[in-house]
Amino acid sequence: MKVPVPEVVPPLAALGPVHFIGIGGAGLSAIAKIMLARGVRVSGSDAQDGPALEALRELGARVYVGHAAEQLGDAETVVVSTAVRDTNPEVVAAQERGLRVWPRSAGLAAAMQDRRVLAVAGTHGKTTTTSLLAMALLQAGADPSYAVGGDLAQLGTNAHAGAGDLFVAEADESDGAFLVYHPHAAIVTNVEADHLDHFGTEEAYRAAFDEFVDTIDADGLLVVCADDPGAARLADLARARGLAAVTAGEAETADVRAVGLTLDGGGSTCRVVDAGADLGELRLQIPGRHYALDALAALAMGLRLGFAYGDLAAGLGAFTGTRRRMERKGEAAGVRVYDSYAHHPQEIAGDLTAARAVAGEGRVVVAFQPHLVSRTRLFGAAMGQALGAADDVVVLDVYLAREDADPEVTGALVADAVPLAADRVEFVPDFDAVPEAVVRRARPGDLVLTLGAGSVTQLAPRILALLEQRR
């Protein structure tokens, strides 16, 4: 459901009780936690129960499973997930009562008021980079607030209402939400066409990032990845508009540069050079070059905000990951099982590179679930090509999320494009049949990776259980 952003976002004290429809999602649950910590009465509903809802109950929210008009209670403001349909009974009732009905972006903007916002945007890597920046600033003693699209492994939560004046926020561009926040400073990890169901064209998508640069405070800062052409272009644009800009990455032209980056299984190591000065070694516990670049962007932001390299590097080095970002789920029968959120061709490629490093001598077996009909229609062939970096691939059917099914757009579009031998690729449209199909392919020493932004994350425990039975 697309909900317009209000012209004026009132302060939290003026919102009255706030009800979240789709409160179990990563975005809305983070906002709800911040509001609860700041004294707002919060209620909400979601289609399914789970750990996110239980955590909110423990914090004092009134949470329902399922949707019904009476669950609005005395709410004065309603925040709606983009996955919710406009026929939802709570949405209908809220509109009939004349309540404020807001998109997620307005709810987050309200939660961030009176703080200096550090927004993390980009096609890929937002959740990891936001998490890294929050952890680095916590280590440096800043006590920032943060709202992230996934739980930080060390802290077990996706949000924190800190005492400091900084607010680290994942700024999602999928529905144009990131144009609402007006940050003091921002990171852009990369810019590559996505979410064309909303933007229509690649040109419009890229133009939204140009507009995002304009929303940054005049005395603020933009940090971009020097290795991504789409992001690097924004640095020149920012400077032309009088805004301070810093590039970070492996490129020789980067202001904050990773030198001698080495990937070693579950982590990476590099030297960090800032404007020609060697600051020291940076050691990360998360796998993959793309995660190292995310960390470097977070480091560059922290350095330009005036925090010490040693503290920032210690925070980054202690970071063990975010839920659903190359998250280790367990091991059985000699097979390691990981889960990750990647759903765009570039993300798939990055995570498979990381998986290959972690697997060592073992093979990489992937269960991939395409996300959204519109994305699969446009990028299904490219998804399949990226999956060719695995040894065996099981492709699920499309996870529909906020869209209706299209019989012409199925997981078969992806499976047919995987450049592996026919016996190495299988399209399994029956969700419940996927664990057995994966386990049938896995051997001791292999790494199994469940990949995608939808319900595929539910399969890791079932795969581990079957592997345990086989052992």
Among 466, 377, 439, 458, which residue's Cα sits nearest to residue 413? 377
Q: With H, G, I as helix, E, B as strand and everything else as coil, classify residue 375.
A: helix
User: How many residues would you count in the chain?
Assistant: 471
Tell me which of 90, 170, 250, 426 is the catalytic residue.
170
Spell out the residues 6+ positions from residue 87 whose beta carbon is closer than 8 angstroms to its own: none
Place of tokens 């992001």: 231
Using alpha carbons, select from 267, 447, 285 the residue that is nearest to residue 359.
Answer: 447
Assess whether 170 carries a catalytic annotation. yes
Compute the distance between CA of residue 384 and CA of residue 379 in angstroms, rounded to an integer. 9
The CA distance from 277 to 73, in Å, is 59
DSSP E strand stretches across 407-446: 425-427
Distance of CA 167 to the CA centre of its chain: 17
In whole angstroms, how far apart are CA 436 and each of 268, 287, 462?
Answer: 33, 27, 9
Query: Could you give phi then psi for residue 423, rounded to 5 degrees?
Result: -80, -5
The C-alpha atoms of residue 91 and residue 68 are separated, in whole angstroms, by 9
Q: Which amino acid is at 453?
A: A
Q: Which of 77, 90, 126, 247 does the annotation list as catalytic?
A: 126
Phi, psi of 5 (to 5 degrees): -80, 135
Element containing residue 10 per DSSP (H, E) = none
**Alpha-carbon span 415 to 390, nearest angstrom:** 13
Indicate if 202 belongs to the active site: no
Query: Which is the catalytic residue, given 77, 127, 450, 457?
Result: 127
Catalytic residues: 126-127, 170
